[in-house]
A and B are shown apart, each in its own frame.
Chain A
Amino acid sequence: MPDFLELYTRYRTVVDQIGINAILALSLAVCLRAGQLALAQAAFMGIGAYVAAITVVTLRWPLAAGTFVAIASAAAVGALLALPVERLRGVFLAIATIGFGEIVRIVAYNLKITGGGDGFNGIPPLLSTPWIYAALLAIGAIFFALRGSRFALAMQTTREDEAASQGVGIDTGRVRVTTLACAGAIAGTAGVLYAFTNFFLTPTDFAFGRMEQILVYCVIGGVTSPLGAVAGATLMTILPEAFRFLRDFREVTNGIVLLAVIVFAPGGIAGLWKR
């Protein structure tokens, strides 16, 4: 037991990162499951993080209230974002949502209430590893409970063929709005956890670089598999740490793994265990 505690103490940050990244990967997996290449998860995370920090630290709300408002805000922004991008698909949707992410980052950079480019300081460590994994488990349990539900089926048919889905009576517009709202809520949860375990927020924490990482987690895990997304996030968070001895070149391993998966296992980790 002492060894475990020592190990945890040494790698606590990585352990927390794995949990938060897994939640972010699940947020994107929701969109991909409905066939939406909507790349706004980093922005949703930022909204969750800043709203939680502002309400709890600046406005001195209780943590639970701040968390609720932060997650609800990210979900509402997700639902609202679905409206202007309703007719966009594939790469056009991806670019539009990346653009939205840039807007969120630039707004955070220029607002006084977010701390601007200097960042938001002095966030107390109100949450820790158990909270992160409790949230991950809760989100995973919701995924599991919804597996096989009519809504899950509507998401799958929307991904497969949107016109045919409408032809059998599925309101694919509502599916898209609900999906982005859920993605917003999940990534917003990751943002809250990030804010209260990292003491400090800057707009670059939620920039395109993070969105790129989240997409890589899902590609490596298997684009429509929630379990694969979690596995991808875990692997790609651990790898750079395991190759720390490579110093500046350590992130090259991420690129190599990504290329290997695309070439040799296009179905990702999930595809491997389905074989």
Chain B
Amino acid sequence: MEALRLEHVGVRYGGVAALEGVSLHVDAGEILGLIGPNGAGKTTLVNATTGFVPLNSGTIVIGDARLDGKRPFEIARLGVARTYQNVRLFGALTIRENLRAGAMRRGDLDDDAMRALLGQAGLLEADLDAAASSLAYGDQRRLEIARSLAGTPQILMLDEPAAGMNPVETKALGALVRAIAAQGIGVLLIEHDVALVRAVSDRVVVLNFGMVLATGAPDAVVRDPAVIEAYLGSAV
């Protein structure tokens, strides 16, 4: 079942087209990998979908609801959660408060629900009353994902979640992303780590200069000569 659909989405920053005619969809329970070189428009796509930058053209729909024109908090309440390229936790607040903030759209969370979320994110040992900023960098990324899940989203957009993680942490992250999708949540995964994207994604979309260059199964996409030339520079 289709959870999120973008149709002919265009975003301009002044005279520069950051996105042009981008169409894609994410199904419930699907992991869609989104790759592309720096400046291809990946983060702009997340920002446009979550209302942080306005669209110049096109439509974005979740279920029956239009997202374009809505403000970020309204889009979040409709079930679109996200993480950020640079971790944006509420650093001075506790882990508990971060999770409560994440659950704001659906009510409050009890300690058991928080523990379950932390356990799922691989932070079972974390002290709920510790400051979020006291966590190690990789754990902060995990907490940001747990905070996003606290709102029981339909769609989760992960913007370079493996950045700064070591191979062991990246492998655990891959398992976490698969577990999230197994709950029926559609995941849009932006990642420079192509191996991770290949390993976990059901489909991959390649952006280049703000346009969709290729779409398909991960192995087929990374063998596409156009993708190799535009993004990878050589075969992977």
| Cβ contact within 8 Å between B76 and A169 | yes
Given A150-B104, A153-B97, check contact A166 B90 (CB 8 Å): no
| Cβ contact within 8 Å between A157 and B71 | no
Q: How many A-B residue pairs have CB under 8 A?
A: 67
Q: Which residue of B lies closest to A156 (CB)?
A: B93
CB distance from A176 to the nearest CB of B (A): 13
Q: A residues bordering B, Cβ < 8 Å?
A: 150, 153-154, 156-157, 160-161, 163-172
| Cβ contact within 8 Å between A160 and B104 | no
CB distance from B130 to the nearest CB of A (A): 15
| Cβ contact within 8 Å between B82 and A160 | no
| Cβ contact within 8 Å between A153 and B76 | no
**Bound Cα distance from A41 to B183, whole angstroms:** 50
| Cβ contact within 8 Å between B90 and A150 | no
Q: CB-CB < 8 A to B97: which residues of A?
A: 153, 156-157
**Bound Cα distance from A172 to B89, whole angstroms:** 16
CB distance from A106 to the nearest CB of B (A): 36
Q: CB-CB < 8 A to B77: which residues of A?
A: 169
Q: CB-CB < 8 A to B148: which residues of A?
A: 168
| Cβ contact within 8 Å between A163 and B72 | yes
Partner of A168, one of B51, B71, B102: B102
CB distance from B8 to the nearest CB of A (A): 25
Q: Which residue of B lies closest to A160 (CB)?
A: B90
| Cβ contact within 8 Å between A167 and B90 | no
Given A167-B72, A167-B82, A170-B73, check contact A153 B100 (CB 8 Å): yes
Q: Does B36 contact A (CB under 8 A)?
A: no
**Bound Cα distance from A170 to B98, whole angstroms:** 13
| Cβ contact within 8 Å between A153 and B72 | no
**Bound Cα distance from A154 to B105, whole angstroms:** 11
| Cβ contact within 8 Å between B104 and A168 | yes
Q: Does B92 contact A (CB under 8 A)?
A: yes
Q: Which residue of A lies closest to B78 (CB)?
A: A169
| Cβ contact within 8 Å between A157 and B93 | yes
Within 8 A of A (CB), among B60-106: 71-73, 76-77, 81-82, 84, 88-93, 97, 100-102, 104-105
Q: Which 10 pairs, one residue from A and one from B, show the smallest C-beta to C-beta distance?
A: A169-B76, A169-B105, A166-B72, A160-B90, A164-B88, A166-B73, A169-B77, A171-B73, A157-B101, A157-B90
Q: Which residue of A lies closest to B91 (CB)?
A: A160
Q: CB-CB < 8 A to B104: which residues of A?
A: 150, 153-154, 168-170
Given A150-B104, A165-B101, A170-B101, check contact A156 B76 (CB 8 Å): no
Query: What are 14 A-B residue pairs whose CB atoms fall within 8 Å in the complex?
Result: A150-B108, A153-B97, A161-B90, A164-B88, A164-B90, A166-B71, A166-B76, A167-B72, A167-B82, A168-B104, A168-B147, A168-B148, A169-B104, A170-B101
